[in-house]
Structure 1
Amino acid sequence: MTVEVKKETLGFQTEVKHLLHLMIHSLYSNKEIFLRELISNGSDAVDKLRFEALSNDKLYDGDSDLKIRIAFDKDQRTITITDNGIGMTRAEVQEHIGTIAKSGTKQFFEALTGEQAKDSELIGQFGVGFYSAFIVADKVTLTTRKAGSDKSEGARWESAGEGDYTLETVEKAQRGTEIVLHLKEGEDEFLDSYRIRSVVRKFSDHIALPIVMDKEVMPSYEDDSEENADDTEKSDAKPVAQIEEETINSASALWTKARQDISEEDYASFYKHVSHDYQEPLTHVHSKVEGTNEYTLLLYVPTRAPFDMWDREAKHGVKLYIRKVFITDDAEQLMPRYLRFIKGIIDTNSLPLNVSREILQQSKQISNIKSGAVKKVLGMLESLAKNDPEKYATFWSQFGAVIKEGPIEDHSNKDRVSKLLRFASTHANTDKQEVALEDYVGRMKEGQEKIYYVTGETFSAAKNSPHLEIFRKKGIEVLLLSDRIDEWLVSHLDEFDGKHLESVAKGNLDLGSLADEEDQKNQEEVNKDFESVLKQIKDVLGDKVSEVKLSHRLTESPACLVADVYGMSLNMERIMKEAGQMMGGMGMGKKPIFEINPSHPLVARMKTEQDDSRFADLTHILFDQAILSEGGQLDDPAAFVHKLNGLLQGLLH
């Protein structure tokens, strides 16, 4: 077949240019990771071939001896990494190497600081991958052919890591991918057999695939043999070195070893392989389950959240193996979404190798494995929270908002997940989410029967909510919830340890035995005194509110808005509107209750105000202030400013 040579020069995606510049200038102190990354990519390619070949063994094309080969040429100053895995088509090369097709790219570049040390960590979070080759190379040539395609359908990609790259169709006899690195000046340390072997053993020893290099073996002659004594031709001959292929890694799956035979360095190295992360993992769990449903799991918690954590299309980080053969990394069946940050592998002996993805989705065995894996992860997090609070605080700062999805998504583990939750509160008076529900219950006042909380768009909005005033006065702790997920969380987590969770901004405030009887009697008398004022305020506001009443919760602010006990909070309504949901007012169409503080001077002034126009202006000002204090937006800010200015001008006369 005639090869159609089609060569074109293409420009890198802007983000690739930026990343390449950072790779070259920020990771110079970690040069050797390029070999780890390229070997890891080759291993993934072989895993994919194994899986595809389960249903089509013709893909092996007579070559089922799967391996990764490393070679170097001192004269040409090149390193070559070759795999006989799945390979790529020309279109796939352009898609995967010419662009960064990874969600979170924008956030990644926004997070960059320009400081090499910090940016180095960020690059590690993002995943260095193929581009790490340019740390040591000033030109990279990649030649590849997809398994099952004709030898004329190979593709060659080449670039100096600057503004563009070339891509052409070439003939390639073997499937798989060959990457040739043309080393920069000063990188000759990697043109050494011992150096390459040491890097492979350091970073890639655990890969369950042979990594091979050529080794010279010198032949030996038996010079003391009588029959060879007169054989001058042989004795004068110079021995010629023989080349043998040597496997330079242990080539055994790490997770199959006993835990006592695996060092922490081994665990960390394997994590970096499966996650493509640059940093050490925060913690891990390694467990083997025996019985009718036999499987091994090795699961990790990263130190930092990935940039695509909030992308619902992103694949999960857990890979499924069956008897050490990779099956899929689209493993939503293995880990619920609220644990989507977990990385690692699950290897089972209980499923047939030719299982399809459709069967996986319906498999009771997979369901049982998922249930067991979730319990192991929750146990790992419980242990971390109990034995290393500092590490758990690091975990929560990165993944707390995701864990809060747990009580919503995983009803069977609701109680266990609830104990892992952390919140800010008026007790800590800081935006750090470090208060466990168990801590809160342990500090509850005598006679307190409920766990109180307030939600806000930001921590400051929640902390300064007027609804907290009576609670501060009485020294009652209130949880301050400002993550977006919190509104959904409290709608599903209605009680903990027998204590009902209650919003301080909904319904009639009931402090139970914590209420002051004398205050209640005084409030009843004040209610009668303000009946006409309440009616007049309701007439002014009309259908903006469902009711106007005196507040039992305000001690400093003049007014606040309160949602119906079964309604939607103002914060939740705002979130829904931002998501494109049209709301008919606070609380799913239910208008808010407007509460006023009779002890506040502005409210007291309204009682004696004779000018109806001034009364109306003051009413609207207090109402708009209540909206603003909840973090809401005014329908007519200009009108609010005009009325406020009119009130202030009146004070000047």
Structure 2
Amino acid sequence: MKQFKTESKKLLDLMINSIYTNKEIFLRELISNASDAEDKLYLKSLTDSDVKLDQDSLSIRITPDKDARTLTISDNGIGMTAKELERNLGTIAHSGSEEFKAANAEHQGDDVDIIGQFGVGFYSAFMVAKEVKVTTRACGEDVAHTWTSDGLEGYAIEDGQRDHCGTDIVLTLKDDVEGEGGEQGERYSRFLEEWTLKDLVRTYSNYVRHPIQMMVTKSRQKPKPEDAGDDYKPEYEDYTELETINSMTPIWKKSKADVTPEEYNEFYKSTFHDWEDPARTITFHAEGTLEYDALLFVPGKAPFDLYSKDYEKGLALYSSNVLIMEKCADLLPDYYNFVRGIVDSPDVSLNISRETLQQNRQLHAIANRIEKKVTSELEAMRDQDREAYEKFFESFGRGLKFGIYSSYGMKASELADLLLFWSARENKMVTLAEYAKAMPAGQKAVYYAAGDSRDRLAKMPVVKAALDHGFDVLLCTADVDEFTFQAMRQYTAKNLPKVYEDDAAREAVEKAVADGAEPELEDRTLDLKNVASGDVDFASEDEKKEAEEATKENEDLFKGMKDALGDKVTKVAVSARLTDAPAAITSEGPVSLEMERVMAAGPDADQAPKAQRVLELNAKHPVFAKLQAAEKDGDADKVKLYAGLLYDQALLVVGILPDDPVAFAQQVCELM
């Protein structure tokens, strides 16, 4: 018995019990090693005329034996000499494949793709096996050698028997363990079941370039006997047949011209268990310092759990056609968590388990490229197929908005132009860029209203006032909209007609354009303003002056109304923007009415900040004359009644219930 050359027991115990968290990946590791061995033999045949090889003859065989409780993985690859066997398996964490890759780097990709890390992945077999026997015969040698170990202290190497070059790895599986004390047991015998083995191969090694074969049980109808009567019932028999259980050629490695849209759709639906075709298929290949293939899909419909805490984002990550991670979250930003797909790169740096990716610049580089590609594809969908994009945005737009909010506006430049909002004037969904292009020349802000109902927002006095002044308003009904705009603060509109403050300059340019000159364009930064905010100033200068004068003239009235309302409002004033409504509730400060409403529905409602409410009155409305008359008559009770009614009415208009609905109803009855 030879001892392992590294501190065997501690390192081996660490690898078996700590590094690998999923026992079933042992089969992936051993198949990857077998694939490496066959690629090495193929490469040797290209440079050594003595090696005669038909590439189609290369294959990997899986053989379960329930009676002997063994699982055998065989290949007809390059095999190992006694010295290589000693070096590769006698030294834990030594990788013959890694050495081979380094020595033959110029041949990688020439129908040869070494997966690597033989000396590490091999030891995952001890997670399920109590003994491992490796019988191997190197190409060009007449003798075979057998390596045997129980994975504890050491190993033994002796002469073995094998007719041709290649390697047989025989695992004697551990005994099944019954669960105790409510803990789940471990049934190692499942790795001898045909269905389990086929499922593991198709999950982890489906796209290994060499055929993975196994004898499988099938059923067929027996021939009908010649003397069978009319009441004969068909009889069936089981038989075994050698079957290739992996598909070998991944669809993402094929040229896009060689794959039909229907084939992409079927692959998406079968792989990601969706009933609908994807809304967009994205495929690209990167070469250079970093090589990888990517096949991405934008689903046609959001999964039911997309916005739940249990949803897991991520792309399937392959290394040389071998599944490394089913969902690699680092490849997608949170706002593109709906994207599904596959990335396959031989250049991704992996740690020794192949299960946990190191945080490396290769992975970040791939993620950055994927993000840019998804963004450009969504922009293309927005511009080329608006109907499809609006359907996409209905399902996934909330996540894009949240991406701006959660990044504190840092991602606004990448995501803002992907957003859609309902235009109160156009009665359709528009982008911020489309809103900006349709603005009047002097408009300096993007106006929006936020609430829970588009119909209610459209009827709000402040929205109607904006429309009456010629300004469009975006009606925002998603709970994240207000927070998104607060995080953005501003939007830079590109290529807008240049605004000239000087009348002479403007007239000169207008004349030049009339004579055929190209109009001058500019990028303009626009503030994002809630029309229910107290600092919105779309009223004309004359309207503002009238409002200021009316406020001064009615100071006593407003003081009485403020006293009646108490701390419900910060002030009462005349509005410069209302046209036909008697009153409106607006807000001052960083917290809007919509933000207050959303936060009040959250888990920390008691601690949620409140909006600083302002009751704005329309001095031209008949109700205002009633208020003036009550104040002039010294009827403080009537002023108090009117103030409460107007305040509660204004709240109802914006979708907020009065603090005391019963009292509001009683006040209406009193007035009647």
Same fold (TM over 0.5): yes
Say whether residues 1:457 and 2:452 are aligned partners. yes
Q: CA deviation at 1:63?
A: 3.5
Is the 8 Å Cα contact of residues 571 and 631 (structure 1) preserved in structure 2?
no
Tell me which residue corresponds to 1:502.
529
Gaps of 5+ in 1: 1-43, 67-84, 90-146, 156-166, 180-199, 217-241, 649-653
Q: 1:170 to 1:316 in 2, by over 3 A?
A: closer
Q: 1:634 aligns with which of 652, 655, 658?
A: 658
Q: 1:360 aligns with which of 341, 346, 357?
A: 357
Say whether residues 1:276 and 2:247 are aligned partners. no
Consecutive aligned runs of 4 or more in structure 1 exceeding 6 Å deviation:
44-48, 51-55, 167-171, 204-209, 211-216
Q: 1:322 to 1:603 in 2, by over 3 A?
A: same
Larger Rg: 2
SS of corresponding position for 1:351: coil
Tell me which residue corresponds to 1:418.
416
Tell me which residue corresponds to 2:612.
591
SS of corresponding position for 1:563: strand
When structure 1 is superposed on structure 2, of 616-625 and 460-469 the one drifting more is: 460-469
Say whether residues 1:573 and 2:601 are aligned partners. no
For residues 561 and 49 of structure 1, the distance between their equivalents in structure 2, rounded to whole angstroms, comes to 67
Q: CA deviation at 1:277?
A: 0.7
- Aligned residue identity for 1:557: A
For residues 312 and 283 of structure 1, the distance between their equivalents in structure 2, rounded to whole angstroms, comes to 26
For residues 392 and 47 of structure 1, the distance between their equivalents in structure 2, rounded to whole angstroms, comes to 40
Tell me which residue corresponds to 1:391.
388
Q: 1:331 to 1:458 in 2, by over 3 A?
A: farther
SS of corresponding position for 1:560: strand
When structure 1 is superposed on structure 2, of 248-257 and 370-379 the one drifting more is: 248-257
* RMSD over aligned Cα atoms: 3.8
Q: 1:213 to 1:344 in 2, by over 3 A?
A: farther
1:209-243 alpha-carbon deviations (Å, 9 max, x no partner): 85878799xxxxxxxxxxxxxxxxxxxxxxxxx97
When structure 1 is superposed on structure 2, of 475-484 and 498-507 the one drifting more is: 498-507
For residues 607 and 414 of structure 2, the distance between their equivalents in structure 1, rounded to whole angstroms, comes to 37
Tell me which residue corresponds to 1:287.
284
Is the 8 Å Cα contact of residues 32 and 322 (structure 2) preserved in structure 1?
no
For residues 256 and 319 of structure 1, the distance between their equivalents in structure 2, rounded to whole angstroms, comes to 14
For residues 50 and 576 of structure 1, the distance between their equivalents in structure 2, rounded to whole angstroms, comes to 49
Tell me which residue corresponds to 1:600.
621
In the TM superposition, what are the counterparts of 1:269-418 in structure 2 within 5 Å? 269-354=266-351, 360=357, 362-409=359-406, 413-418=411-416
Q: CA deviation at 1:340?
A: 1.0
Is the 8 Å Cα contact of residues 151 and 174 (structure 1) preserved in structure 2?
no
- Aligned residue identity for 2:591: M
For residues 625 and 241 of structure 2, the distance between their equivalents in structure 1, rounded to whole angstroms, comes to 97
Tell me which residue corresponds to 1:475.
470
Say whether residues 1:442 and 2:437 are aligned partners. yes
Q: 1:500 to 1:148 in 2, by over 3 A?
A: farther
Q: 1:205 to 1:54 in 2, by over 3 A?
A: closer
For residues 606 and 452 of structure 1, the distance between their equivalents in structure 2, rounded to whole angstroms, comes to 31
Q: 1:534 to 1:49 in 2, by over 3 A?
A: farther
For residues 215 and 328 of structure 1, the distance between their equivalents in structure 2, rounded to whole angstroms, comes to 31
Is the 8 Å Cα contact of residues 548 and 574 (structure 2) preserved in structure 1?
no
Is the 8 Å Cα contact of residues 316 and 330 (structure 1) preserved in structure 2?
yes
Is the 8 Å Cα contact of residues 315 and 329 (structure 1) preserved in structure 2?
no
Q: CA deviation at 1:300?
A: 0.2
For residues 211 and 154 of structure 1, the distance between their equivalents in structure 2, rounded to whole angstroms, comes to 32
Q: CA deviation at 1:64?
A: 3.8
Q: Higher RCO, 1 or 2 (CA under 8 Å, sep at least 6)? A: 1
SS of corresponding position for 2:416: helix
- Aligned residue identity for 1:50: R
For residues 462 and 355 of structure 1, the distance between their equivalents in structure 2, rounded to whole angstroms, comes to 58
Is the 8 Å Cα contact of residues 468 and 553 (structure 1) preserved in structure 2?
no
1:398-442 alpha-carbon deviations (Å, 9 max, x no partner): 211122123234566532311111000112335xxx201111011
Superposition TM-score, scaled by structure 2 size:
0.61
Q: CA deviation at 1:48?
A: 8.7
1:278-312 alpha-carbon deviations (Å, 9 max, x no partner): 22111111111122222221100111110011112
For residues 602 and 194 of structure 2, the distance between their equivalents in structure 1, rounded to whole angstroms, comes to 45
SS of corresponding position for 2:357: helix
1:586-631 alpha-carbon deviations (Å, 9 max, x no partner): xx34531111111222222011013221221111111111222121
Q: 1:64 to 1:441 in 2, by over 3 A?
A: farther
For residues 381 and 48 of structure 1, the distance between their equivalents in structure 2, rounded to whole angstroms, comes to 40
- Aligned residue identity for 2:563: D
Is the 8 Å Cα contact of residues 583 and 615 (structure 2) preserved in structure 1?
yes
Q: CA deviation at 1:316?
A: 1.3
Is the 8 Å Cα contact of residues 265 and 278 (structure 2) preserved in structure 1?
yes
- Aligned residue identity for 1:525: E
Tell me which residue corresponds to 2:67.
none
In the TM superposition, what are the counterparts of 1:232-271 in structure 2 within 5 Å? 244-247=241-244, 250-271=247-268
- Aligned residue identity for 1:423: F
For residues 427 and 295 of structure 1, the distance between their equivalents in structure 2, rounded to whole angstroms, comes to 47
Q: CA deviation at 1:509?
A: 2.5
Is the 8 Å Cα contact of residues 207 and 321 (structure 2) preserved in structure 1?
no
- Aligned residue identity for 1:454: A
1:140-164 alpha-carbon deviations (Å, 9 max, x no partner): xxxxxxx997454699xxxxxxxxx
Q: CA deviation at 1:489?
A: 0.7
For residues 177 and 316 of structure 1, the distance between their equivalents in structure 2, rounded to whole angstroms, comes to 31
Q: 1:154 to 1:378 in 2, by over 3 A?
A: farther
For residues 54 and 214 of structure 1, the distance between their equivalents in structure 2, rounded to whole angstroms, comes to 22
Q: CA deviation at 1:505?
A: 1.1
Q: CA deviation at 1:248?
A: 7.7
Superposition TM-score, scaled by structure 1 size:
0.63
Q: CA deviation at 1:553?
A: 2.2
Tell me which residue corresponds to 1:112.
none
Gaps of 5+ in 2: 1-21, 34-63, 65-69, 76-123, 129-170, 197-201, 219-238, 494-524
In the TM superposition, what are the counterparts of 1:483-632 in structure 2 within 5 Å? 483-496=478-491, 497=493, 498-511=525-538, 515-564=539-588, 566-582=589-605, 588-589=609-610, 591-609=612-630, 610=633, 611-632=635-656
Is the 8 Å Cα contact of residues 153 and 172 (structure 1) preserved in structure 2?
no
Q: CA deviation at 1:443?
A: 0.2
Q: 1:356 to 1:363 in 2, by over 3 A?
A: farther
Is the 8 Å Cα contact of residues 316 and 342 (structure 2) preserved in structure 1?
yes
Is the 8 Å Cα contact of residues 338 and 409 (structure 1) preserved in structure 2?
no
For residues 519 and 149 of structure 1, the distance between their equivalents in structure 2, rounded to whole angstroms, comes to 87
Is the 8 Å Cα contact of residues 448 and 473 (structure 2) preserved in structure 1?
yes
Q: CA deviation at 1:502?
A: 1.1
SS of corresponding position for 1:592: strand
Is the 8 Å Cα contact of residues 339 and 402 (structure 1) preserved in structure 2?
yes
State the percentage of identical aligned residues: 31
In the TM superposition, what are the counterparts of 1:94-113 in structure 2 within 5 Å? none
Is the 8 Å Cα contact of residues 206 and 254 (structure 1) preserved in structure 2?
no
SS of corresponding position for 1:362: coil
- Aligned residue identity for 1:371: N
Tell me which residue corresponds to 1:3.
none
For residues 651 and 566 of structure 2, the distance between their equivalents in structure 1, rounded to whole angstroms, comes to 16
Q: 1:516 to 1:299 in 2, by over 3 A?
A: same
In the TM superposition, what are the counterparts of 1:128-147 in structure 2 within 5 Å? none
Q: 1:356 to 1:376 in 2, by over 3 A?
A: farther
Tell me which residue corresponds to 1:186.
none
Q: 1:427 aligns with which of 400, 420, 425?
A: 425
Is the 8 Å Cα contact of residues 596 and 611 (structure 2) preserved in structure 1?
no
In the TM superposition, what are the counterparts of 1:24-63 in structure 2 within 5 Å? 50=28, 62-63=71-72
1:237-294 alpha-carbon deviations (Å, 9 max, x no partner): xxxxx97524387431111222222222221122123311122111111111122222
Is the 8 Å Cα contact of residues 282 and 300 (structure 1) preserved in structure 2?
yes
